[in-house]
Amino acid sequence: MVKTILIVDDAVSIRGLASMTLENSGYRVIEAHDGKDALEKLSREKVNMIITDLNMPNMDGIEFINHLKANSQYKFIPVVVLTKETEPGKKQQAQAAGAKAWIPKPFKPKTILGVVKKIIG
């Protein structure tokens, strides 16, 4: 069964690169431009993993992760943060909210693939 990954990022280029990398490795990808868009898509789609940016309009990554983890329907979906953010406090906030891993931007395709394979196979 093909595993589905939701990529949440306001940068079209980042979503595109991550999507292409994952799709070329056999994953199905859904894209969202911010946390609100992601929650709306999650209401219609079942996903195995979420990769999210932190700095986005409307609903940032921390708020999005908090919403996920507060909802029994989504709280066990693994979340990985993919961000340019370098502030150590933000990484701690993301981990406290429930993020499983942190990937800095710019990323190498093999890095994102390695993290995905380690978490969901």
More confident residue, 63 or 1: 63
**Looking at the predicted structure, is the pLDDT value of residue 68 above 90?**
yes
- Residue 67: Cβ-neighbour burial (10 angstroms; 0-12, 13-18, 19+): middle
Confidence of residue 1 (pLDDT cuts 50, 70, 90): confident
Quickly count: other Cβ atoms within 10 Å of residue 83's Cβ: 22
Whether pTM > 0.85 for this model: the answer is yes
pLDDT category, 71, cuts 50, 70, 90? Answer: very high
Place of tokens 């931007």: 105
Q: For each of the domains in the chain, give its residue range(s) and CATH number, in order of start.
A: 4-120 (3.40.50.2300)
User: pLDDT tens-digit profile of 4-32?
Assistant: 999 999 999 999 999 999 999 999 999 99
Segment 28-42, tens digit of pLDDT: 999 999 999 999 999
List the one residue out of 45, 41, 2, 42 whose CA is nearest residue 22.
2
- Could you tell me the pLDDT band of residue 87, with boundaries at 50, 70 and 90? confident
